[in-house]
Amino acid sequence: MLILFEAVLIFIFTFLLVPLNIRVSHLLGIVAKPSERRIHKGLIPEAGGLSFALPIFLAQASFYLFGSDPETGEMLLKLSWMGIITLVFGLWDDRFETPAILKLVWQIIIAGLMFFIGYRVTHLTNPLGTDFSLGWMSFPFTLLWFLVVFNAINLIDGMDGLACGITIIVSAVLLIVGFRQQNNLVMAIAAFLMAGNLAFLRYNFYPARIFLGETGALFIALNIAAISTAGSSQFKGITSMTLMIPLAVLAIPVLDVALAFFRRIKLGHIFTADKAHIHHTMLAFGFSQRTISLIVYIVTLLFGLIAIGFSLSSKKLLFSVLLGLLALMVVIAYLIMRREKK
């Protein structure tokens, strides 16, 4: 009931804060200007993530005071302070456009801090049997996981409402899985994130009045990655699903990161932004921004349903194969589109 109550408050306060955020962003010059790698025209306020990040921060911190689960309260309190650190970096980047290499350094620092406060990848799913315990490899795997999610959300946030809508679907899926297993930590993080983004989408969907910015993208990624790395609280009762469920729902953003990584290595400039992402390719084919967002929402929802099925089924291998086939289909579709574009 406390999670539900705080989620409702987050929705209301986010909805009320966005207009204020728009005015303050214009006043402070925190705006996205048209450029070669951006598709919008005109000055659009950035740092929109503040609108839902601040209410979520207060909800996570207050859960420590009013919640009946001390372990969950402590983990949420730690996450809330890491959220503030993330917001500071995001705001700085939105205002001054930090170089890509410095962004990577910040991401590594945040991931390392998350490990040391207890958010760790301790196991990897083995569809054939017992999960693999990572032992000393937990630290590098944790860093890798956070870096993947940070960049997945960041890169997919290149079109009105895209990252925000994906976040809502991802959070809903994780909320369902957490509710099934009565895992308060999973439910709280997912419910708070979903409530904030639902309210924000009203202003962020095409034509967007405000962008998430690095502020919002990093904050979202921090919370999504945290759900899968909750140390001893990690998916109580469903530890075998560690990383599998978030990876399944984040299939499109993670695929986009992988393709961007290899594409940039081939071109010899890994830290240089480009306009060859999945949504850019669809835009070049003549799809509207609204249509692209809806298509990506539907595909993400399908992956989400697979993830839920994965958590419900004892036949893990069957769902792993199915997930792999769907991922392969997405890769093939993307390569065909790239070839047609050339």
For 32, list phi and psi in degrees, rounded to 5: -90, 120
User: Both ends of the chain: CA-CA distance in Å?
Assistant: 54
Average pLDDT, the chain: 81
Alpha carbon 185 to its chain centroid, in Å, reads: 17
Among 146, 294, 125, CA closest to 222 = 146
Do the Cβ atoms of 201 and 20 come closer than 8 Å? no
What pLDDT is stored for residue 17 in this prediction? Answer: 94
The conformational region for residue 327 under phi > 0 = left, psi -120 to 50 = alpha, else beta, is alpha
Position 231 scores a pLDDT of 44
Specify the amino acid at residue 204. N
- pLDDT number for residue 120: 85
Q: pLDDT at residue 333 above 60?
A: yes
Stated pTM of the model: 0.85
pLDDT tens column, 74-102: 999 999 999 999 999 999 988 888 888 88
Q: Are 156 and 165 in contact (CB under 8 A)?
A: no
Closest to 50 (Cα-Cα) out of 158, 196, 167:
196
Between residues 281 and 234, the one the model is more confident about: 281
Query: Whole-angstrom Cα distance, residue 3 to residue 334?
Result: 39
3-class secondary structure, 277:
coil
Q: Is the peptide bond before 207 cis (omega within 30 degrees of 0)?
A: yes
Q: 115-129, pLDDT tens digit by residue?
A: 999 888 877 766 556
